[in-house]
Every structure is written in C-alpha cells, then in structure tokens.
Amino acid sequence: MLTRDDLVAALSAIRVSAPVRADEVTGSTNATAMALAEDGAPSWTLVSAAHQTEGRGRLGRIWVDTPARALLVSIVLRPELPPNRAGLLTLGAGAAMAEAIRAQAGRQATCKWPNDLLVGERKVGGILAESSVADGRLRYVVVGVGVNLDAPEEVEGAGGIGEVGLRQLLTDFLVRFHELYEGSAEAPLSSRVRAAWLSLSATIGRVVEARTSTDEMVRGRAVGIDDLGGLLLSTDDGGRSVAFGEIRHLDPAS
C-alpha cells in the first residue's frame, strides 16, 4: 500500500508541498478529501487508501476494489474555472492516468468518455470528480482516481493492469496531470485537455449510444469533444453535444 512518505515523494515530483493522508482502509478517498476540502485543505492535498469499503463511481454506482490491489487516490483542487468547465478535469485526469499506465505498466490504456480507463474493452480504472459550488463559482473539486492491478472477480467487464509500483504510477500520473492542469498561458485548459484526451480516446470515431442526464437516448458517431468536455456526436439529425451522461460503444474498435 501507499504510505505517507510515498505521497509526500509523489508531490515533491511536482514541486508541491501539501497535506497528505494514507489510510489502509477507508470508506471513500473522495469522501475523506471532500471533508478535508471543507476544512480548508489547499490544492494538491492528497488522500490514498489500500481498500475502500464504500467506493463510489459516477451516477450513484459502487466502485469495487480488491484490497491492496488497486491505486486509490483523491486530490483536492481549487481551480479558477467556471463550474460548467469542471468536466475538463475528469478528461484531463483520465488522459494523464492512461499515459502513466502505458509508461509504467506497459499496457495500452485508453480513455472512454467521460471517465473510464480501458485496456482493450475491459475497464481497468475510472475517474470521479466531485465539486462544491457557491455563488456561481467552484469552491473546490476533488478528483478521485481508481486503477485496478487485479480485476475484482465480482465485477463484470473489469480488468487490471498487472504488477506495477504504486508509488511510481502515482508519481507519473501526478507529473502529467499537473502539467495539464497548470499548463501554459498560451493555451487554455480546454485546448490542452482536448489534445491530450483525443490522442488516447477509445471513443472517438466509434458509433455510440448516449444516455443523457435527462434520460434521453442519442445514437451517433463520436467525432470530438467541445470546450466544456462534452462529447460531440454526428447523428442522422445533425450534430449533437452530450454534456453529461454515459455512453455505450456499439461497434468494435478499429
């Protein structure tokens, strides 16, 4: 499992000093990080666990891990972003972790919109970003990352990335994500995230079925992402942007 020293060392790679917390077992790293954020924890506060008993996924789903066989971390961020652009952080974290998996585990990880990490067609990880908004501005965003080393046997369609050093994987991820997040004044966050995510996408070019937040079903070919992180579809009725929801790939990867 990751130790406090591992978390401190990972943050030092991005030249950041922030609070860290490493638990052996916790309910949810995101819940812990959000509580710390409410108490004023600064950006890049880092929380990890070897096992979650109440892990969460998007849309109220449960995240299941095999104890001590997953990377489970959450990061507190305080971005200067409009609330409707918070989804870019999910895509950016996904792209950074896919690259880190490729570099550290030698697996060709890809990103399925909006938050899944795939190896082949199996889900090996995911991103869960949760935020607090007040007076029309983001107070904080907690970005949670879960990556399976071994696939939980009870989860259909799950996969794992195999043996990898958790400290090395976390450090590689943080370096890549920090670079995307902080970036350059010459390119906005949306452009940086779009370039990183599109290069690793398992979704772009495929025919998908999207269920929107209003429970509407939309079918079309995924052709890009917009400045807010929404998925752009080419449908029989023209172009469509899906800002929030989930998708199903309908055709095999080419």
Which segments in the chain show pLDDT lower than 70?
A: 55-62, 185, 254
- 169 and 229 fall within a common domain: no
Question: How many domains does the chain fold into?
Answer: 2
Query: What is the reported pLDDT for 61?
Result: 66
Query: What is the reported pLDDT for 212?
Result: 77
Query: What is the reported pLDDT for 110?
Result: 98
- 217 and 234 fall within a common domain: yes
| 60 is a domain residue | yes
| 228 is a domain residue | yes
- 232 and 214 fall within a common domain: yes
- 47 and 108 fall within a common domain: yes
Helix ranges (H only) for 80-204 are 87-105, 166-182, 189-198
- 124 and 242 fall within a common domain: no
Q: How far is the C-alpha of 28 from the C-alpha of 19, rounded, in Å?
A: 17
- 230 and 157 fall within a common domain: no
pLDDT tens for 156-186 read 889 999 999 999 999 999 999 999 999 876 7
Query: What is the reported pLDDT for 246?
Result: 83
What CATH number corresponds to the domain at position 180? 3.30.930.10
Domain extent for 243: 207-249
Query: What is the reported pLDDT for 47?
Result: 98
Domain boundary among 198, 220, 236: 198
| 254 is a domain residue | no
Cβ neighbourhood burial of 20 (10 Å; 0-12, 13-18, 19+): buried
- 140 and 242 fall within a common domain: no
- 47 and 118 fall within a common domain: yes
- 135 and 214 fall within a common domain: no
What CATH number corresponds to the domain at position 227? 2.30.30.100
Per-residue exposure over 204-220, b if at least 16 CB sit within 10 Å of its own CB, e if not: bebebebeeeeeeebeb
pLDDT tens for 24-68 read 999 999 999 999 999 999 999 999 999 999 866 655 566 788 899
Query: What is the reported pLDDT for 185?
Result: 67
**Whole-prediction pTM value?**
0.94
- 31 and 104 fall within a common domain: yes
- 74 and 135 fall within a common domain: yes
